Amino acid sequence: MERIFAAIDGGVITNTFVGDDDFADLVRPDHDEVVEITGLDPMPGVEWSVEVDGYRPPKPFSSWLWQDGDWVAPTPRPTEGEWLWDEAAQEWIDLTPPVTE
């Protein structure tokens, strides 16, 4: 039975292919890892995380770190209001409209 597989090198999907277990076994020696894709059809370049045993969502900003199954900003996001991360300034920008009387 043919299934979809991802070839992973350096923690990043480098290729996807359709095949059976025998074909995956032939491809496996040329890659760090070959895994079956289930419920998702990622494109090459998507990260694979051993920590979550699955695909890691794209990194939103280069400064963010992967912690506890999610991308986290270097500075915690304030809890009140609407905020946008400014990568150049490395800080959260308050988007909450000012209160006018």
| Residue 52 φ/ψ region, left for φ over 0, alpha for ψ in the -120 to 50 degree band, beta for the rest | alpha
**Site of tokens 């998507």:** 46
6 by Cβ neighbours in 10 Å (0-12 / 13-18 / 19+) ranks as buried
Structure confidence by residue, pLDDT tens digits, 3-33? 888 888 887 888 888 888 898 899 899 998 8
> Structural domain boundaries of the chain?
1-58, 59-101
Is residue 45's pLDDT more than 90? no
Neighbour tally for 16: CB within 10 Å: 15
pLDDT at 71: 86
Contact 23, 17 (CB under 8 A): yes
What is the DSSP track for 1-15? --EEEEEEETTEEEE
pLDDT tier at 72 (50, 70, 90 boundaries)? very high
